[in-house]
Chain A
Amino acid sequence: MSHNIKILPGATVCEDCTLEGDITIGGGTVIHPRVTIIAEGGPIIIAEYCIIEEYSTIIHKKSDKQESPPKALFIGAHNVFEVGCRLESIFGHIGENNIFECRSFVGVDVRIGSGCVVGAACCLTAQQVLVDNTVIWGSEHHIREALEKQPSQLLQLDFLSKVMPNYHRLRKPNVHKRQPSRQSTEPAK
């Protein structure tokens, strides 16, 4: 099952993480150790410049009403998955510039736009759609709409991709394309 892992050049993927199923990881993305990504219900495509921190879990779950061929879970660029978060969404598309804070949980029936923030320890289980720039925070799950997208983490990404190879064994990129971009990864499904 774990043969179909495509890592595009420029991605930093630590060896000590669980990747199962058909997974594509875009260039510039950093995946920390102890991350679990399981694509059992269909392929998972992670676009460029995402940060996936330790102990976060992304699962594309199998469901009964699955189409065939299975729909891919596409995670847009510049998403940040902080330590210990869990994403189980099966909706095909997760936008860009989202932040999933520490130990947040996003359940199966949640559709996520762009620029959203799921606050630390926030737990979204009910069926809902997060429109662009929604911020959820606090133990009472207050909802707010931000005016603009969250600032990007490019500096942090630069730093991580420089420092990570010094301290961790990395998985080597196995797909060689000259210009890895979203258009070129999508036909992979």
Chain B
Amino acid sequence: MAYLVQPDYVKYVCSCGQMKPITNLYFCRHCLKIRCGFCICHEVDSHYCANCLENMPSSEARLKKNRCSSCFDCPSCFHTLSTRATMVQPRQDPASGDAKVENKQPKKMYYLSCFNCRWTSRDVGIPDQPVASGGWPERVNPFANRFAQLMEYYKAIAQQEKQEKLDKERKKFAIRGNYITLTDKTGLTGAMARNRAGMPSSESTSSAIANFVLSQATEEVEELPDDYHSREVNLKMITTMPQRLASPEWQAQQVSRLQPIARPLSVKRSQRCRQCDHNLTKPEYNPGSIKFKIELLAFYHVPEVKIISYETIKPGVTSALLLKLTNPTAHEMQIQLIQPNEVPEIEEKEEPKNIEKSLEKSLNLEKDMSWKSVVERKPTLPSAIKVNNPELTFTLAQRDDAAEYDDDSHHDTNDIILWRKSNKLALRLQLTADENAKVGLPAVAVVALQYTYRNTVPPTSTQPRDHTLYTTVTIDLGIVSQ
């Protein structure tokens, strides 16, 4: 809970250099590295409506423009609309008034209503529906035609450019030598190949480009009404900017032209390590479930650091810092505090080149690692505050849910270890602030942890089970004061 409602006092340095709280980090068990949302690959698993929890395959979702067909949002306040039922007397006999007419069965009619701002579909004159869900009138985009034209045009252009690139490639091959291209070898011409692949032929693309009408700018615009500037504005009748932008196709200017907005779909994401392509998280397919099939969060694998208390940081003064360390894993953990610059650089191991690898390379199937240079960077860690690390390796017991019922047996408390409780311990550390630390600037201490980690992935013969891992943590200690 503290992680949700409080600022992030303790941040971990991800292997890509980002600094994030432990709850926002992942831990790849195969690379044994911390990953964050910035340096992993996000994939859409499934589309679903968060209101009715209906699942939708992605092709259908694309067809429905990523919107649910049965749920609506309020165009006025964007809250979800609810369906309300009313009993309606058939309209033929207005004379009868309040008196119930026995021979006419009252009919159930449905309308949409917002419980937040009390907007109803009757407000804008949408007739009530005889069925509870669906059947609401759909408005056609006034520019649907033009939109389709544009889509076709740009598809054609994309197609053409692809073709040109292919041709260029082929030319390159031709110059280079005696290779036979695939199409030549199989006796297929380009057109036939395209036809087989179901792609539009080059003739149709060129016609789509030729037939396309560019939009024309005109100098004559419709004049504004005379009273445009003098008319009194009734703000209750005019829509607000958010209301207009919520339905960009229509952008109703009058409140009376608002339409229920089909609810946008949500997605379930699975996340993947870019380095080794293993899944980091994978949600369960059922939209109603919030559980994961795979859930490699740093919170379950990396020792957690929390601040208990600290003394105010003053330049040149040594102060105390109390930290709590927790071992979340099911194995004992040896932890040592080290200076951040003592963390060894992890060099990328060149994987042994076997036949398969070289084949992959020749086929150009090797993984594209260009993202790494873009994403990864070295974090700049503040150095004004030095943590005087104790030369001590301490052992943290494994996480044990039943431990709170036991009496603690060993109490090896000393000057540094304040207390111990099952898989947690409190440390008393000394901080020395630099004499030149500027008063008023944020005081951030940096400490690195060296910890042992037992990998529970079924080991291959080459990989050891136990690893020594490093993580760097920044601790926010308020501001440097006088």
Contact = CB atoms under 8 A, between A and B. Distances in A.
Given A137-B77, A138-B77, A144 B119 contact: yes
B380 to A, nearest CB: 39
B117 A137 contact: yes
B260 to A, nearest CB: 15
B305 to A, nearest CB: 37
B122 A144 contact: no
Given A137-B77, A137-B117, A143 B122 contact: no
Interface string B434-475: 000000000000000000000000000000000000000000
A25 interface: no
Interface in A112-147: 117, 119, 134-135, 137-138, 142-147
B114 to A, nearest CB: 9
Interface in B57-84: 76-77
Interface residues of A, number: 15
Nearest to B84: A151
Contacts of B293: none
A137 B236 contact: no
Nearest to A148: B122
Q: Which of B86, B118, B119, B235 has the most CB of A within 10 A?
A: B118
Given A143-B236, A146-B123, A135 B118 contact: yes
A138 B118 CA distance: 11
B257 to A, nearest CB: 13
Interface in B94-119: 116-119
A185 B124 CA distance: 39
A150 interface: yes
Contacts of B122: 147-148
Contacts of A138: 77, 116-117
Nearest to B234: A145
Q: For chain B, which range describes its interface: under 10, 10 to 19, 20 to 34, or 35 or more residues?
A: 10 to 19
A142 B74 CA distance: 14
Interface in B212-271: 235-237, 255
A138 B119 CA distance: 13
Contact of A142 (B117, B124, B237): B117
Contacts of B76: 142, 144
A119 B124 CA distance: 21
Nearest to B119: A144
Contact of A117 (B118, B124, B237): B118
Contacts of A143: 235-236
Which residue, of A147, A148, A151, has the highest number of chain B Cβ atoms within 10 A? A147
A83 to B, nearest CB: 15
29 contacts: A117-B118, A119-B116, A119-B117, A134-B236, A135-B118, A137-B77, A137-B116, A137-B117, A137-B118, A138-B116, A138-B117, A142-B77, A142-B117, A143-B235, A143-B236, A144-B118, A144-B119, A144-B255, A145-B236, A145-B237, A146-B118, A146-B119, A146-B120, A147-B120, A147-B122, A147-B124, A148-B122, A148-B123, A151-B86
A-B pairs with the 8 shortest C-beta distances?
A137-B117, A147-B123, A145-B236, A135-B118, A117-B118, A137-B116, A144-B117, A143-B236
Interface of A: 117, 119, 134-135, 137-138, 142-148, 150-151
Given A138-B77, A142-B117, A148-B122, 5 more contacts: A119-B117, A137-B77, A137-B118, A144-B255, A147-B120
Interface of B: 76-77, 86, 116-120, 122-124, 235-237, 255
